[in-house]
Amino acid sequence: MAEFCLETDRLWLRAWRSGDAEPFRRSLDTDEVTRWLGGRQPAEYYDRLCAAMQQSQAEHGHCFWIMEDKAEGAIIGFCGPRRGRHVGTPIHGALELGWRLASSHWGKGYAKEAAAATVQWCRKHRPLDGRLIAYTVPGNSASRGLMTALGMQRQPNMDFDHPDLPSGHPLRRHITYTLEHPA
């Protein structure tokens, strides 16, 4: 079977490969990128992330795909759809749109380009889901801005406390946006 790859003008969104964890970590495990994600993580975190994305791709045909800059041939982030995995939250089982981008590529439209391509892919390949969800912490204005630019609507009734973070953690509260009936 051929490897999944979705192409945009400047990017390849592709399935994770076994060697992707380390270059992904080098590009994205920075103070700037992880500010809203709870901080930098050890290499083992990225190994687990790579394995989880490979498993999601194998089981569902999608994941938060590796984002490669076509001109550089370098991993600059991820973007794609994945099933919401936080049991006991309003997003559990929903089709989640997620992204993460190296700070060297911020402000250049890469996240919007990748996310818009993902929305189009979902319209074609996952129309029965009826909606996409995305979430972030209230202070992450860049992610909230992208959600709005994609036409997503704020859903306060779906906000939740992230189950992986302890009570009182400043990043525990998450706000949710949806794109209804993406077909």
Comparing C-alpha atoms, which of 161, 163, 157, 165 is closest to residue 178?
157
**pTM assigned to the model:** 0.94
Backbone angles phi, psi at 52, to 5 degrees: -65, -40
What residue numbers bound the domain in which 146 lies? 5-180
Cβ-proximal residues to 37 (8 Å cutoff; 6+ apart), any chain: 100, 171
Question: CA–CA separation, 89 vs 82, rounded Å?
Answer: 15
The one-digit pLDDT tens for each residue of the chain (183 residues) are 568 999 999 999 999 999 999 999 999 999 999 999 999 999 999 999 999 999 999 999 999 999 999 999 999 999 999 999 999 999 999 999 999 999 999 999 999 999 999 999 999 998 777 899 999 999 999 999 999 999 999 999 999 999 999 999 999 999 999 998 655
CATH number at residue 19: 3.40.630.30
CB burial of 102-121 (b: ≥16 within 10 Å; e: otherwise) equals beebeeeebbebbbbbbbeb
For residues 118, 124, 125, 131, the Cα torsion angle rounded to the nearest 10 degrees is 70
Comparing C-alpha atoms, which of 24, 3, 9 is closest to residue 113?
9
**Is residue 114 within 8 Å of residue 79, measured between CB atoms?**
yes
Number of domains in the chain: 1
